[in-house]
Amino acid sequence: MPFDRSIKIAPSILAADFANFGAECAAVEAQGADWIHVDVMDGHFVPNITFGPATCAAIRPHIKGVMDVHLMIAPVDPFIDAFADAGADVLTAHVEAGPHIHRTLQAIRGAGMKAGVALNPGTPASAVAEVMDMVDLICVMTVNPGFGGQKFIDMTTKIKTLRDMIGDRPVHIEIDGGVDPKTAPLVAQAGADVLVAGSAVFRGGSVDDPTPYGNNIRAIREAALGVWT
């Protein structure tokens, strides 16, 4: 995973056909997706249940690029090795998920993955100030986590603050929630470079007709690049 701050589109398989994940991952990659984003929910930290390490292991052979796994679970630490074994490239834990985010990030990197930390809408940027040198990605939630298809919450001030805090460190800012061609320019201009999109990518297409996936990905990317410098 060479580091760069170019805009990357990361379709969330939460919006894909659950009965056909492998083919869906291959289809969106072929249509221009940069990363594949996997939202893991436990019904405890967030009010929904999705999937776990076994699903990640099953789709890994179908993903040529980066598998970006976002853990909306608590606790995190007991499952880190399982997601490493499943082939995650990036593993993101929420700062709100436990009292020892420093230890969690150490463990993620120790397992050979890039370490991400996520911030809920109500959590300030300052919550990650003391672990800035331990992370490879900061995920800014622009919805309250737990469900796909929610309305975008404007977190541009937080994104700008994080970009200033990051400085010249090789750390991505990822946006998760309500990203589409209308909101992509806002977050890109503020300093984000990884844009997670679910329904905005998968809407209108299918494995049998993936062309809309490509059109949707291009629309988001071009909207973001319109303000990207």
State the Cα–Cα distance between residues 43 and 177, nearest whole angstrom: 18
**Among this protein's residues, is 176 annotated catalytic?**
yes
- Count CB atoms within 10 A of the CB of residue 7: 19
**CA nearest to 135, candidates 161, 173, 99, 97:** 173
The single residue of 39, 89, 136, 180 carrying the catalytic annotation is: 39
Cβ-Cβ contacts under 8 Å for 22 (sequence gap 6 or more): 58, 59, 61, 62
68 is catalytic: no
Interatomic CA distance for residues 189 and 172, integer angstroms: 14
Find the catalytic residue in 34, 68, 89, 176: 176
Residue 2: how many other CB atoms lie within 10 Å: 4
Q: Report the catalytic residues.
A: 39, 176
